[in-house]
C-alpha cells in the first residue's frame, strides 16, 4: 500500500493571482494530455526567466514525478518547501515520494510538516492515516513471522489490507484460521407444519419436593457493582497532536538543513540567546545549519504540557549528529499558538 494522493491544489491558488498564469495553464494542459517531455521543456523555459516562480516549480516537480524521475522530484519539492515553508502541498508530495521509496520516517515527518503548516489540510491527514496503516501492516506481519499461530494478529493484518482493496496474506507455516462468523440468534426448534389434530396430552411428572434452606444459612444477595463510567476524551488532545507535529516538523527541517523551514518554526517574539535580534540570531543559525555536510536530529521521550496561559511546554531528549559533532541532551521548548500554528517562543537546553 502506498500514499496515493499527489497534491494539485497549489496551482489554482497561484493562478488566481494571475502570476505566470499563461505558462502554468499551458503546462497543465500538456501534463493532462501526458505530453510530459513537452511540459518539462515549457516549465524549464519559464523558470529560466523567473527561477523562483513557485507555481511553475510545483508543476515541474509533478512532471518529474509522472516521468518516474523520483529523485529529481524529491529534490524539486524539497527546494520548493525550503523557499516557501508556508505551503503544505510540497510537503505532502514529498511524503508520497518518500513512501514510494519505503522511507516511511521521512514520509511521516513531511506529512506532519504539511499538517503543522495547515491543520485543515485534509489530503495530508488522509495520507498520514494511510501511512500509519502501512506501518501497522508491517508490524503485524513481523508479529506473525515470530508467532505464526496468532489468529488475532492474522485478522488484524487482513483488516488493514482490506482497507486498500488487497487483503494482506501472512506468510506462515500454520494452518489458515477459519473465517470469523458473525454471531446470530437462532431458534431452538425447527418450525413444522400446523397439526391437523389436537395434540395428545402428555402427563406432567410430579416434581420432587425440595428442602427449603434454613433462614440462618440463606445466602444474601450480593450488591451489584455500579458500572464504571467510560473515560471522557480530553478536549485538548487535538492541541497536543498539533504540538507534536510542530516539534517533529522543526526537527525534520533541521535534519534536512531546510533553514527557511527551521526558522519558520520560531515566533517573532522568540527569546534569543543573549538578547540578540532575531535577524542576527537567524543569520547565525543559517550558517551553522547549512555548514555541515549532513545533519541528523531525532526527538525521543517527548512529553507535552499545556499551560493555563495559552503556552505549551515540550520536553524531550534530542540526539544530534553532524559530520563534526554528536551529542544527546535534554531540551525544553516553550511554544505558543499563532493563528493555526504552534511556534517556539523559548528554547532551553539541559534536563
Domains of the chain, each with CATH number or no CATH: 10-135 (1.25.40.10), 237-349 (3.10.450.50)
For residues 157 and 167, what is the distance between their CA atoms, to the nearest angstrom? 8
pLDDT score, position 48: 92
Confidence of residue 21 (pLDDT cuts 50, 70, 90): low
Are 105 and 121 spatial neighbours (Cβ–Cβ below 8 Å)?
no
Q: Which residue has the cell 525550503?
A: 82
pLDDT averaged over the chain? 76
The DSSP bridge partners found for residue 300 are: 317
pLDDT score, position 295: 92
| pLDDT tens column, 121-136 | 888 888 888 888 888 8
pLDDT score, position 261: 86
- Of the candidates 329, 272, 264, 335, the one whose C-alpha atom is nearest the C-alpha of residue 305 is 335
For residues 168 and 162, what is the distance between their CA atoms, to the nearest angstrom? 7
- Phi first, then psi, for residue 333 (nearest 5°) are -115, 135
Confidence of residue 203 (pLDDT cuts 50, 70, 90): very low
| pLDDT value at 177 more than 90 | no
Q: Which residue has the cell 494539485?
A: 8
| Rg value, the chain, Cα | 31
- Of the candidates 181, 160, 168, 303, the one whose C-alpha atom is nearest the C-alpha of residue 243 is 303
Q: What is the pTM of this model?
A: 0.53
For residues 316 and 145, what is the distance between their CA atoms, to the nearest angstrom? 33
Amino acid at each position: 500500500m502506498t500514499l496515493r494522493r499527489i497534491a494539485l491544489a497549489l496551482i489554482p491558488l497561484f493562478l488566481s493571482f494571475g502570476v505566470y498564469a499563461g505558462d502554468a495553464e499551458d503546462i497543465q494542459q500538456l501534463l493532462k494530455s501526458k505530453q510530459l517531455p513537452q511540459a518539462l521543456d515549457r516549465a524549464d523555459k519559464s523558470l529560466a526567466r523567473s527561477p523562483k516562480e513557485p507555481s511553475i516549480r510545483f508543476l515541474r516537480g509533478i512532471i518529474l514525478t509522472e516521468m518516474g524521475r523520483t529523485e529529481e522530484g524529491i529534490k524539486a519539492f524539497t527546494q520548493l518547501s525550503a523557499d516557501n515553508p508556508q505551503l503544505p502541498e510540497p510537503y505532502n508530495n514529498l511524503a508520497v515520494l518518500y513512501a514510494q521509496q519505503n522511507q516511511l520516517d521521512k514520509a511521516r515527518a513531511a506529512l506532519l510538516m504539511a499538517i503543522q503548516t495547515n491543520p485543515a489540510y485534509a489530503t495530508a491527514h488522509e495520507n498520514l492515516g494511510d501511512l500509519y496503516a502501512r506501518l501497522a501492516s508491517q508490524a503485524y506481519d513481523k508479529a506473525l513471522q515470530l508467532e505464526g499461530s496468532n489468529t488475532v494478529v492474522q485478522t488484524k493484518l487482513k483488516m488493514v489490507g482490506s482497507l486498500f482493496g488487497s487483503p494482506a496474506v501472512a506468510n506462515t507455516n500454520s494452518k489458515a484460521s477459519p473465517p470469523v462468523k458473525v454471531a446470530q440468534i437462532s431458534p431452538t426448534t425447527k418450525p413444522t407444519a400446523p397439526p391437523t389434530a389436537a395434540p395428545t396430552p402428555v402427563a406432567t411428572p410430579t416434581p420432587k419436593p425440595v428442602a427449603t434452606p434454613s433462614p440462618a444459612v440463606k445466602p444474601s444477595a450480593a450488591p451489584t457493582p455500579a458500572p464504571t463510567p467510560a473515560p471522557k476524551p480530553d478536549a485538548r488532545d487535538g492541541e497536543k497532536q498539533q504540538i507534536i507535529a510542530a516539534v517533529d516538523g522543526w526537527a525534520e527541517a533541521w535534519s534536512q538543513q531546510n533553514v527557511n523551514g527551521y526558522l519558520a518554526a520560531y515566533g517573532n517574539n522568540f527569546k534569543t540567546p543573549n538578547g540578540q535580534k532575531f535577524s542576527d540570531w537567524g543569520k547565525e543559525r543559517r550558517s551553522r545549519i547549512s555548514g555541515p555536510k549532513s545533519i541528523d536530529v531525532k526527538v525521543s521521550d517527548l512529553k507535552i504540557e499545556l499551560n493555563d496561559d495559552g503556552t505549551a511546554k515540550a520536553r524531550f531528549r534530542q540526539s544530534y549528529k553532524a559530520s563534526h559533532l554528536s551529542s544527546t541532551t535534554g531540551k525544553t521548548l516553550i511554544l505558543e499558538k499563532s493563528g493555526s500554528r504552534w511556534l517556539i517562543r523559548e528554547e532551553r537546553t539541559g534536563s
